[in-house]
Structure formats: structure tokens, C-alpha cells
Amino acid sequence: MNCGRAVMWLTGRRWLSVLVQECLNLRRLSFAGTCGGHKGRMAETPSIEAEAASELRAPTQQNGDTGGHATDERTPGRPEPAGAGVEPAPGDGKPATGSGEQAPAAAPGPGKRKKRRGATGERIVPPPKKRRAGVSFGDEHFAETSYYFEGGLRKVRPYYFDFQTYCKGRWVGHSLLHVFSTEFRAQPLAYYEAAVRAGRLHLNEEPVQDLSIVLKDNDFLRNTVHRHEPPVTAEPVRLLAENEDMVVVDKPSSIPVHPCGRFRHNTVIFILGKEHQLKELHPLHRLDRLTSGVLMFAKTAAVSERIHEQVRDRQLEKEYVCRVEGEFPTEEVTCKEPILVVSYKVGVCRVDTRGKPCETVFQRLSYNGHSSVVRCRPLTGRTHQIRVHLQFLGHPILNDPIYNSVAWGPSRGRGGHIPKTDEQLLRDLVAEHQAKQSLDVLDLCEGDLSPGLSDTTAPSSELGKDCLEELTASAQKMDGAVEAAPQDLDKMALAPGNATETDAVNKEMDPLCAECRLVRQDPLPQDLVMFLHALRYKGPGFEYFSPMPAWAQDDWQED
């Protein structure tokens, strides 16, 4: 009996030993998994912070390109997906090398989402792709199309372009039909239905089959369009100076600095890249599209930050020259009226006590009996500051299409007297330029006009649904031209000598493009010039001048 008890006791000890060992193994596995999860989170954090910092440092593109860009010309900023081959971050829950067991999946780190298997038939959204750090334009963008010159104007050949965006928070849970009808009114819904049938709309790189599809978080939308740009002056962008830090140019009037709205290739950034091989430049200050003169770019982010710090510390001196209505006072005039933005969309400001503080110093240089040439020194940098202050003083710029307009009333805004509401003012400005076919002056196109801005009939660029039905059938027959147009464009742009006349016609005419069927009257080159010129920029260790324009000469006479 004692022998039997001893055997049972020894057997119990062996089982106890085995049980303790198994518990220890389980604890080791659990501890390893926990440490792996923390390590994954720690490893991911610096890269995410670095990516966020790089996006904050990146210059804004409007656009469109962001290209447009967005800028925009997104404008000026639509995200472009990263290419394939992105390395997985640590802590993905992949099995360790050489181990036959699946390690426990690490907890999701910052910015990561748990992968979820959808129910049967549910649409699965792929995770968002990493964005490229910074925003710049390279040869692949410059090769999208080419320029031609006609009647004193620089023109861009129509081209195919992909507008790309991730689903915005306010779109989640809504159908594509709803989003297009509420936020993308540049075309009627019939156009988007035709675009679906022609295979031009993609969701997560898959062709959209039905506009009733409901959007989810992280959905990636791509819309291929046939893009037309307004003409600008044929005046060249002249280099004033270039060194290892900066590029300084003499910007002609009518050319935007960077992609924005309908402008992409007809911008200073693209002209410098295509014609002067100057790429990845950082604009150091802003000039309105209609303003000419000194425009500075940094070649590196470090130089850009240094100059912007000087701007913030008021170390830069800016000097402009303009030609204004009437006889400006001979003595120096300082205007300190605050300026309020009436509409960011239309780009209109006015003097208002609720506005931001501003200060501009004016000095008359000459008077020819009808108009005066005035030197302007803005001590602050508000939008349209010089133009708004001159309007307030009763001497608007002679040919300013916004602040010397009859839409402001009989006194044209002198002394801040505007006998109408902001809504009435905007509506009258839009109506005036719509009648003149000059909405580009307001950085608008017909599709941007909401019912509040325009009480006129439907824009002439909108085609009827029946017409679009016929065009869709035509587009589907042009399978190669519709589906492969962007790729064919790239090849032809890189090797223009191989392009035939038929190829050029195919890419410049598109069966779904309403713009292709419009006959627009070209502006006269003199209509693209506003009499406001950036004459001089001076800072610590640099000073750049631009030649005085012809309209600022003492002997200049109006036509």
C-alpha cells in the first residue's frame, strides 16, 4: 500500500511539473505577443509623425491638382495614390520568420484600422494608400499636353485628365448620384450617367456600374475628363535672376502662379517646368492672376522657410506701381482701412470694420490729365489689399475688372459706400462677367454658379439628356480613344514626332465634352492686362527689380 501511494505521489508530481511548464510557455507566448504589439506601435509612430510633418511643410497647390491641382490644379491639392510595393509596417501580425506558429496579431497602431471581413455580398473597401510626401510636378505632368500660340495668346491643347480624391466624411453613406448632384455641378447628371456608360468613372480602380452605389470611408474615386484651359497672354515668363537658392521671374498679367481652378498648364509653375526645366519650386509670395511683376521662388524647402520667416517678421519691402482713375493727390496717402473677405469662392473683398487690419502707403508718380501712376507700398499682405484700398480712396485701378465695376453702385465703392447687400453685389458681379464671357476673371466657370449667384437660365455649356445619350453611343464606339486616351496622350506627348494629324484630332475632340462644342470668342491680349505691377522686392541680402511696364510711362495715353 505504501508502495502504491509513493507511485501515485511521484506521478502527481510529474503531472504538476508538466502543468507548470505549460503555464510558463503560455505566459512567454502572451508576453512576446504583447511586446510585439507595443514594438509595432512604437515603430509606426515616427513614420506617421514624419509623414504628417512633411504634409504640413508641403506648399499648398491649388489644385487641382491639386491637380488638380488640382491647385489647383487638384488644384491646387487632390491626393494621388502611392505606387505598388509599399512595405508593410511592423506589427502587421505576420508570422515570425522560421516559426511554425502564427504569432498573435499586434494591436492596431495609430492611424491603422482593424481589418474587417464583410458579410456575404458586402462591398469591401481597400485600405487607403500612402500619400506622397510633398506636392510637386514632374515630367509626367508636364507631358500631359502642349502649348500653341495664336493671336497674341498662349493656348493649351485639350487633354485627358484624372481628377482623383478619397471619399470625404460628408459623402459617407450617400450615393455617387447624390454627391455629383450636390457638389459637382459643373456638369448635369446626364453627363455623369454617360460617363459611367463610357467607363470614365472608377471607384477603388474598378469601373462604376451604377451611380446609386453608396460611398464608404476610404473609397477612392477617379474621374477621367476632357480638360480645356482658358488662354493667357503670349508674353513670355522672363527670368530676372537665378542662383542656388532662388529663381526670380517677371510674371506677365493673366497667368496664375500655380494650378488652380481651370488653370493647370497655363500657370507660371508649369511654364517654368516645361520651357525652362525648373522643377519643384516653392512660391515665396503670391501675386493675383491679373497682377504682373516680380515673383520669387525658392529651390529648397529650407530657403522657403527662411524667407517666409522674414515675411512674418516684416523684413521684406514690397513696392508696386499702378495706374488709377483720375487725379491722385500729390502728397503721400496712407490707408489703414480693415479689409473683409466677402466671398472666398468668387474672390471679392471690401472695406469693413469687421475685417483684418491693413495698411498701404501711396505716392503719386505722374498724372496725364485723365489717370495717375501711383507707387504703392503695402505694409501688410491681405488679399486684394492695394486694389480695395484704392477703390475706397475713390481712385480704383483704371481697368480693374472687379473693383472698378458698375456692380458696386454709382460711386463704385468710394468711401466704403456700397448701396446693396453682399449677396446682391456678388450676383451683380457674376451677371456682368457672365454677359462678357469673362467669368475667369472671378476664377469661376459656368458650373460653379449656384442658384444664389445666378438667376439666369441654365448655362449654355450644359447639353440636354437626349444629346448626351447619342454622344455616349458614339463614345462607346471610340473604345480605344475613350479608355486608353490618357495613356495614348502620354506617349504622344513624349514623342510628338510620332503623332499623326488624326491622333491630334482624336485627343482634342471628345464626344462627351460639352466644351468641345462651344465656340468661345478669344479675349484680346490687351484685355488680359490689369494695370498693377510688382516693381520691387527687397529683403535681408537681396533686392530684385522688374522693368517699368509700358502703361506706367509718363507719355502713355489711353486708346
CA-closest candidate to residue 293, choices 79, 535, 476 = 535
> H helices of 58-175, where?
139-142
Instruction: State the Cα–Cα distance between residues 361 and 256, nearest whole angstrom.
Output: 26
Query: Which three three-digit cell numbers place residue 251?
Result: 510674371
Instruction: State the Cα–Cα distance between residues 5 and 11, nearest whole angstrom.
Output: 10
| C-beta separation of 437 from 160 below 8 A | no
Is 162 part of the annotated catalytic residue set? no
Instruction: State the Cα–Cα distance between residues 360 and 136, nearest whole angstrom.
Output: 34
| Strand-pair partners of 373 | 323, 366
Instruction: State the Cα–Cα distance between residues 349 and 340, nearest whole angstrom.
Output: 6
Q: Could you tell me which residues come within 8 angstroms of residue 491 by beta carbon, excluding any fewer than 6 positions away?
A: 498
Peptide bond into 71 cis (omega under 30): yes
One of 72, 250, 288, 400 is an active-site residue; which one? 288
Looking at residue 330, what DSSP letter applies?
A: S
| C-beta separation of 365 from 533 below 8 A | no
End-to-end Cα separation, the chain, in angstroms: 130
**Tally of residues, the chain:** 559
Instruction: State the Cα–Cα distance between residues 487 and 502, nearest whole angstrom.
Output: 16
Q: What is the largest CA-CA distance in the chain?
A: 133
CA-closest candidate to residue 268, choices 293, 226, 239, 237 = 237
Instruction: State the Cα–Cα distance between residues 264 and 94, nearest whole angstrom.
Output: 44
Instruction: State the Cα–Cα distance between residues 94 and 87, nearest whole angstrom.
Output: 13
Contacts 24+ apart (CB under 8 A), 105-112: 106/33, 106/36, 106/37, 106/39, 106/40, 106/41, 107/37, 107/40, 107/41, 109/40, 109/41, 109/44, 109/45, 109/48, 110/41, 110/44, 110/45, 110/48, 111/44, 111/48, 112/44
Instruction: State the Cα–Cα distance between residues 360 and 378, nearest whole angstrom.
Output: 4
Question: Following DSSP, what letter does each residue of 130-154 receive, concatenated?
Answer: PBPSS----HHHHTT--EEEETTEE
Instruction: State the Cα–Cα distance between residues 233 and 255, nearest whole angstrom.
Output: 7
CA-closest candidate to residue 376, choices 321, 315, 331 = 321
Q: Which residues are catalytic?
A: 288
